[in-house]
Structure 1
Amino acid sequence: MRDLFVQWLTQITHPFWNSIVSVDDFVSALQQTIYMVVIAFFFGAIWGFLQAITLLVTRPAGILPNRVIYQVLNPIVNGLRSLPFVILMIAIIPITKFITGKTIGTAAAIVPLVAYIGPYMGRLIEISLLEVNEGIIESAQAMGASPAQIIFKFILPEARSSLILNLTSANISLIGATAMAGVVGGGGIGDLAYSYGYQRFDTFIMIATIIALLVLVQIVQMFGDWLSKIR
């Protein structure tokens, strides 16, 4: 499949491809970006849902209010969200090296990407869950539903469309973060744009990487919009 895509892209871009970077190298960089986005989004979503549900149920007006957990977790989330991605990436280098055994490369970039997107997704998920009408929760409690049933059978299904749209926005932010990861050795489209487009003044490859990111973002947004409308 990859070879066919490379051949197809080579054929349609051959008349105007003007860069020392080959089409194959460009496709490899695109694959690295997609790989980072998919893996980081998966683990970030797990982090985000755990964080959002914990904050939702332990808040003062929550299903299982717990002042200690809420007041400890909430500022930690705010602190992580306040750090720019590049600073966060450098700050957790020891953790990255411990987990992956290296500090640069696509695999190493996934660790700070998860640390960056997890709290952000958690806040967006929490916002979606808080939008659910309190009457639905009160009705579930009146029917004798357990906290787990209230969350998974009432709140999450009711917040489905909002969740999908917010997760789509988080995914687009993640794509932007992968581009920044490339600047500091994370690989992918960002690395290509920096190493060749910026450092070697290759205007063509810079434009090509911008177009690739725009197309990728558009695909993600269109898919999210479509998915949110399905019932």
Structure 2
Amino acid sequence: MLSQLFPNVKWETMSEATYQTIYMTSVSTVITLILGLAIGILLFLTSPNQMWANKIVHFLTGSLVNIFRSIPFIVLIILLIPFTKFLVGTIRGTNAALPALIIGAAPFYARMVLIALREIDKGVIEAARSMGAKTSTIIFKVLIPESLPALISGITVTAVALVGYTAMAGIIGAGGLGNLAFIEGFQRSRDDVVLMSTIVILVIVFVIQWIGDAITARTDKR
């Protein structure tokens, strides 16, 4: 049945491309979570009336976040080619896509982290400060736990966006389903390959969203 609907699809190649997409998405999501969380917390703590209030650091960090968040991903890939070649040694393959994926997604998630932290009741933070809690204690015992549902929801949205980024990265030879759809499908006029690649990408997105929603619901105590 499948061979009749998708006569040009090589299932072994499709499986390999699916693995590459999942690999790029998962690795970049984990690193984006760490970097984005750190940058978002820095933005929050250096904002006015906070513990590390510093206009210069806040302005510079916010400016970098806004700049990289505003650059279209396909343009960012091209801009980062020299950096990627220096870091990875090549500009092709799944690992070569990771720098652009992370640099493109981390500022996006950092801004979502900042929004989530600003939603925390100021009284909770002030209470912790009045009791003499250290900054590290406030971060790990107040800020992150209080904003956890929003943080998880934010990384879920970011992970979904990263799936789309991997498809774009595939156009320049990063591998994955985007590369397969473009090289084996579009360039050779094999619509069934393009369609099957799209279906698999949609399944990955739905699974990520389902997992994210389930974890968010579990952590939301409201």
- Short-chain TM bin: over 0.9
2:56 to 68, 73, 76: 68
1:131 to 110, 119, 122: 119
SS at match of 2:22: helix
TM-score (norm 1): 0.91
Q: What's the CA shift for 1:14?
A: 4.0
CA distance in 1, matches of 2:81, 2:49: 38
CA distance in 1, matches of 2:65, 2:151: 19
2:199 aligned partner, one-letter code: I
What is aligned with 2:72?
Answer: 84
Answering whether residue 125 of structure 2 is matched by residue 115 of structure 1, we say: no
Per-residue CA deviation, residues 135-180 of structure 1 (Å, 9 max, x unaligned), is: 1111111222111111110111011111111110010000000000
Contact 1:125 1:167 in 2 (8 A): no
SS at match of 1:159: helix
Per-residue CA deviation, residues 160-217 of structure 1 (Å, 9 max, x unaligned), is: 1111111100100000000000011111000011112211111111110111111110
Q: Between the two proteins, what is the percent identity of the paired residues? A: 35
What is aligned with 1:226?
Answer: 214
What is aligned with 1:165?
Answer: 153
CA distance in 1, matches of 2:2, 2:134: 58
1:33 to 13, 16, 21: 21
TM-score (norm 2): 0.95
SS at match of 2:212: helix
Contact 1:85 1:116 in 2 (8 A): yes
Mapping 1:96-107, distance limit 5 Å: 96-107=84-95
CA distance in 2, matches of 1:193, 1:17: 13
What is aligned with 2:2?
Answer: 13
SS at match of 2:166: helix
Per-residue CA deviation, residues 8-28 of structure 1 (Å, 9 max, x unaligned), is: xxxx73453311x41000000
Answering whether residue 163 of structure 2 is matched by residue 175 of structure 1, we say: yes
Instruction: Name segments (4+ residues, structure 1) moved above 2 Å.
Output: 12-17
CA distance in 2, matches of 1:46, 1:58: 18
- The count of aligned residue pairs is 219
1:31 aligned partner, one-letter code: Y
2:139 aligned partner, one-letter code: I
Contact 2:29 2:155 in 1 (8 A): no
What is aligned with 1:192?
Answer: 180
Gaps in structure 2 of 5+ consecutive residues:
none
Contact 1:57 1:65 in 2 (8 A): yes
CA distance in 1, matches of 2:141, 2:118: 15
